Structure 1
Amino acid sequence: MAQYLALIHQDEQSLGDTYAGETLAPDHGAFIAANQSALAGGLALEPSHTATCIRPKGDGSFFVGDGPFVETKEQLVGYYVIEAANLDEAIAIAQQIPMDYGGVEVRPVRVLS
């Protein structure tokens, strides 16, 4: 079985005071129960304003700053690790991830040897 990372992106600004996933928590619970055998992990992330960005300066030192790595309308809010026979099977599982808007990016996990 190959592993695929399903990255969940949503526009945090449109959530207002509701944290991403709070309103969909029961739906995610149902998704996890229905796909338990294909899930190797997954977590929700705190809002992007809690992120810390680390970038090399090129001289051996680093810039450490607040906020997400890049500015974008939709932020990474969570992920699932899916174990599937192929990309088509991973996509079929990822399409079941609860979301009101935003999207899911599915990427194969590279095995380093």
Structure 2
Amino acid sequence: MGKSLSERIAAKALKKKLPLSHGDQNQNRAVFLLLRQEIKQALDDGWPMRSIWEILHEEGKVTFGYDSFRRYTKHLILLPPSKNQKQLEHPVTPTRTVKSKTDETPQIPGFTFNPSPKKEDLI
């Protein structure tokens, strides 16, 4: 079977000449996405993020800095799906809750301050 859609998009982004402001960022993201499974496997094996970046940088696979690598790793590998994605995957029907009057203010046993004392309580 051929390349996945994600791999094809990344390859196109690498070939495409974009303006400098967006081109470098898009190319860096494309490179990271191509290496994502390899990076995820190394993280799962217990290797520190810094060591992974250093090897990839030395091999010339990534040319961007460590801070960008950390940001891509955080957003594309480590973070769970956003709330919107979770809601789409698992739709939940809202339920209505009814509060009883006794639940309004729970009484905590112990000392209660009374600003106007009773004369019988004073010595």
TM-score of the pair, normalised by structure 2: 0.29
Which structure carries more helix by proportion?
2
Q: Which has more radius of gyration?
A: 2
**Structure 1 length-normalised TM:** 0.31
Structure with the bigger RCO (C-alpha within 8 Å, sep 6+) is: 1
**More strand, by proportion:** 1
